[in-house]
Amino acid sequence: MSDDRKCSDCDGELREVRMIDTGHGDVHHPMKYAAADAKQRWTGYYPVEGIVKGFMCQECGLIRIYGIPTE
Ligand SMILES: [Zn+2]
């Protein structure tokens, strides 16, 4: 990922932040994404297509979210 991203609102510097999801209990997991029409497998999980990365503006707090496909 390039690190020269700029905020679309105020042109501030975007810093990478970790997007986390609260799983079972208090365990935090990196956020992932699946296709909108993905069906749950028998395991109860969706087939994951990638992870979610967030970048937050250091000036105004705007968060931009990108999907990073995994192989
Ligand atoms: Zn900003």
What pTM value is reported for the model? 0.70
Distance 47 CA to ligand 1 centre (A): 34
Task: Count Cβ neighbours within 10 Å for each residue of 17-46 and write b for 16 or more, e otherwise.
Answer: eebeeeeeeeeeeeebbeeeeeeeeeeeee
Distance 25 CA to ligand 1 centre (A): 34
Please give the structure tokens belonging to residue 35: 């296709």
């970790």: which residue's tokens? 18
pLDDT one digit per residue (tens) for the chain, 71 residues: 455 789 999 999 999 998 887 777 777 888 889 999 999 999 888 899 999 999 999 999 999 999 999 87
Distance 55 CA to ligand 1 centre (A): 11
Distance 28 CA to ligand 1 centre (A): 27
Rounded CA separation 1/62 (Å): 18
Q: How many residues does the chain have?
A: 71
Distance 70 CA to ligand 1 centre (A): 28
Q: Using an 8 Å Cβ cutoff, are 30 and 18 in contact?
A: yes
